[in-house]
């Protein structure tokens, strides 16, 4: 799906539905997840860039939703995808209850570097995750770019005692990731680095690989403009891939599954178990882990559940305006390409 294939605005807004679903635990500073759905000949596409994203960035999410609603995804080469549990920045005492929601998951991604928390909070949370998963479980941490290079090195040196699989986006910039990898090697800290924001929020998502800034690439469908666009990035970067989600409902997770299922190789559990962070969904066939994996499929959306979680009229108007602004941004991109 390219900017040249964008349907007319009236077609995008026709049948647009918007929901507001509460989260089980505050995540990324929000308590409700607002999601817009586009209806098309192929079904529903999920459009849910976070509220602070401006049209130039959010327009890629619109392309992904259009692809899902109007196009077909690549052929799958596997029927199931292993997934990780996601542990928000909760108190250590709450970790067992969070992990209990993820049936059979032996890998957990733990949020760290939360604003207002201390390194000791991260240490306690990761320690409890390791305690619950046992010695054979895999533990990865995600700082969302929240550390400086020195803070990341110091924190990862402490956290490495719990056998980290990798640290996701410990610092904000590609240059900082390169510096951090060098510093960790100098200090003898054996923690691999994964890049997320440095790929999905970058104008050049392949720069991470060219500069040797990461060992692993975390790839998300919506921020990269759809399954096919994300698959191209995954194949070109040459790094092991972890497919992740952006706090999606099952409609968005289905797109992530389509990407993970199409990859020639899949070495790591994927971050596609995040439906468990939501109190509700728009399908009765929720894409939640069973025995640590998700079966590759595209669930049918329930009109009743769209009604159950329907957003207020003023929020629907806000999302209609946002679709319009993002479509305008895509048209501007197309004009520049001509």
pLDDT in tens, 87-133: 999 999 999 999 999 999 999 999 999 999 999 999 999 999 999 99
First to last CA, the chain: 17
Task: Give every CB contact of residue 273 below 8 A, 6+ residues apart in sequence.
Answer: 83, 84, 85, 86, 102, 105, 288, 289, 294
CA distances for 283 relative to 31, 244, 302, angstroms: 21, 20, 5
Q: Is 142 known to sit in a ligand binding site? A: yes
Domains and CATH numbers, the chain: 3-71+303-337 (3.30.390.10), 80-295 (3.20.20.120)
> Can you list the positions of beta strands (E) in 123-214?
138-142, 164-168, 193-195
Contacting residues for 316 by C-beta, under 8 A, at least 6 apart: 16, 18
**Residue 337 marked as a ligand binder:** no
**What is the reported pLDDT for 202?**
78
Q: List, for residues 288-336, the tens digit of each pLDDT value.
A: 999 999 999 999 999 999 999 999 999 999 999 999 999 999 988 765 6
Contact between residue 286 and residue 95 where contact means Cβ atoms under 8 Å apart: no
Helix or strand (DSSP H, E) at 21: strand 17-27
Q: At what angle do helices 313-337 and 55-70 cross, to 10 degrees?
A: 90
Q: Which portions of the chain are predicted below pLDDT 50?
A: 338
pTM to 2 decimal places: 0.93
Cα 133 to Cα 137, 157, 168, 193, 268: the distances in Å are 5, 21, 19, 21, 16
Q: Residue 14 in contact with residue 38, Cβ under 8 Å?
A: no
Rounded to whole angstroms, how far apart are CA atoms 31 and 210? Answer: 38
285 is in an annotated binding site: no
Nearest Cα neighbor of 43 from 74, 75, 67 is: 67
pLDDT (0 to 100) of residue 246: 86
Which residues are known to be catalytic?
A: 111, 220
């Amino acid at each position: 799906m390219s900017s040249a294939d964008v349907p007319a605005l009236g077609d995008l807004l026709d049948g647009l539905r918007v929901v507001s679903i509460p989260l089980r635990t505050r995540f990324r500073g929000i308590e409700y997840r607002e999601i817009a759905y586009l209806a098309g000949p192929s079904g529903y596409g999920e459009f849910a860039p976070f509220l602070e994203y401006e049209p130039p960035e959010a327009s890629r999410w619109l392309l992904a939703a259009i692809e899902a609603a109007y196009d077909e995804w690549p052929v799958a080469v596997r029927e199931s995808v292993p997934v990780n549990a996601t542990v928000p920045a909760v108190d250590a005492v709450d970790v067992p209850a969070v992990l209990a929601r993820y049936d059979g998951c032996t890998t957990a991604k733990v949020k760290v570097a939360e604003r207002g928390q201390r390194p000791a909070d991260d240490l306690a949370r990761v320690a409890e995750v390791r305690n619950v998963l046992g010695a054979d479980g895999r533990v990865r941490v995600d700082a969302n770019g929240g550390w400086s290079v020195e803070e990341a090195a110091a924190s990862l040196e402490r956290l490495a005692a719990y056998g980290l699989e990798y640290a996701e986006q410990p610092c904000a910039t590609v240059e900082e990731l390169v510096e951090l990898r060098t510093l960790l090697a100098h200090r003898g800290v054996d923690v691999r680095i994964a890049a997320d924001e440095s790929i999905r929020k970058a104008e050049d998502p392949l720069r991470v690989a060219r500069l040797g800034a990461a060992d692993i690439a975390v790839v998300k469908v919506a921020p990269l403009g759809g399954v096919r666009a994300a698959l191209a990035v995954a194949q070109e970067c040459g790094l092991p891939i972890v497919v992740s989600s952006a706090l999606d409902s099952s409609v968005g997770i289905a797109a992530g599954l389509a990407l993970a299922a199409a990859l020639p190789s899949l070495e790591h559990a994927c971050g596609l178990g995040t439906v468990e962070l939501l109190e509700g969904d728009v399908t009765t066939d929720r894409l939640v882990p069973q025995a640590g994996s998700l079966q590759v499929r595209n669930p049918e959306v329930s009109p009743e559940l769209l009604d159950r979680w329907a957003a207020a009229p003023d929020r629907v108007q806000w999302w209609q305006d946002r679709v319009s602004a993002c479509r305008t941004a895509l048209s501007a991109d197309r004009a520049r390409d001509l």
